[in-house]
């Protein structure tokens, strides 16, 4: 994420490149879900636990989206008073947006912990997949801060601070899930399955489709899926 912010302040990528990154990240995460998580969940044959975990995952992600969308609207409400104060007034931080991004990264960290609870291989592949997603998120956050009048150094520093939420989420996930087995692990994995599917369909691909779709952009999704399918087979 920090690398994405640094890249954004040095030379912000064009919308097509960012869309390609988002397509690729979506394909990678979808591949990890299909190849690694889903077979583990189906193998245990625990339909009630799967339904409970999956339902909780969907409800949680919908609730978080509602909260974060409201938070992201807060900077818009404060933009006019800040602009009226004059050009010499330091640009205010978009706290609503930053809190929303922090929550998103915290959830990514928890999902990373869930991935390692499923196994070292699953956790490693998911870590690589989320790294690509966070690269794009760092790019977007830094561009937003720069557009708001913040300096390059401050934009990178803010993104670096927010990225610590990933470590916090991963630490919580691995600590709570350490030694989890049986039905508890099945619920947790099903929760992670729903959250990752939500991330792909409602966040990454939604943002990617803000740019006019082209065959090459669509291809990036399938390249990401195939790449991690092959890595899962040979790893």
Each residue of 14-39: pLDDT tens digit? 788 888 888 988 898 898 888 888 88
DSSP letters for 75-115: HHHHHHHHHHT-TTSPPPP-HHHHHHHHHHHHHHHHHHHHH
Residue pLDDT, tens place only, 184-196? 888 988 998 998 8
- To the nearest whole number, what is the mean pLDDT of the chain? 82
Looking at residue 215, its pLDDT comes to 93
| Helix, strand or coil, per DSSP, at residue 177 | helix
Looking at residue 235, its pLDDT comes to 63
Q: How far apart are CA 107 and CA 63, in angstroms?
A: 13
Model confidence at 83, pLDDT cuts 50, 70, 90, reads: very low
Q: What percent of the chain has pLDDT over 70?
A: 86
Residue 179's φ and ψ, nearest 5 degrees, are 80, 5
33 secondary structure, DSSP code: I
Chain-centre distance for alpha carbon 9: 21
Q: How far apart are CA 219 and CA 135, in angstroms?
A: 19
* Segment 117-130 mean pLDDT: 81
Looking at residue 88, its pLDDT comes to 47
Q: What does pTM read for this prediction?
A: 0.77
Looking at residue 8, its pLDDT comes to 66
Looking at residue 91, its pLDDT comes to 63
Nearest by Cα to 33 from 196, 149, 187? 196
Chain-centre distance for alpha carbon 156: 18
Looking at residue 58, its pLDDT comes to 94
The CB density around residue 83, as the number of other CB atoms within 10 Å, is 12
* Segment 152-160 mean pLDDT: 87
């Amino acid at each position: 994420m920090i690398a994405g912010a640094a890249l954004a302040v040095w030379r912000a990528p064009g919308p097509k490149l960012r869309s390609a990154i988002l397509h690729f990240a979506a394909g990678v995460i979808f591949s990890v879900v299909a190849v690694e998580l889903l077979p583990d969940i189906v193998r245990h044959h625990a339909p009630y636990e799967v339904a409970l975990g999956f339902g909780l995952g969907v409800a949680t992600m919908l609730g978080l989206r509602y909260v974060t969308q409201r938070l992201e609207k807060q900077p818009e409400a404060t933009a006019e008073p800040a602009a009226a104060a004059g050009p010499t007034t330091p640009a205010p931080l978009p706290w609503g947006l930053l809190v929303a991004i922090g929550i998103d990264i915290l959830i990514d960290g928890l999902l990373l912990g869930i991935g390692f609870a499923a196994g070292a291989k699953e956790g490693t592949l998911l870590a690589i997949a989320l790294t690509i997603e966070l690269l794009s998120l760092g790019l977007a956050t830094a561009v937003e801060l720069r557009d708001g009048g913040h300096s390059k150094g401050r934009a990178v520093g803010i993104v670096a601070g927010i990225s610590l939420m990933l470590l916090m989420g991963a630490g919580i996930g691995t600590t709570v899930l350490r030694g989890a087995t049986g039905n508890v692990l099945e619920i947790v994995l099903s929760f992670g399955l729903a959250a990752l599917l939500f991330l792909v369909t409602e966040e990454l691909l939604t943002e990617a489709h803000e740019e006019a779709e082209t065959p090459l952009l669509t291809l990036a999704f399938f390249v990401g899926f195939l790449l991690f399918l092959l890595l899962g087979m040979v790893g």
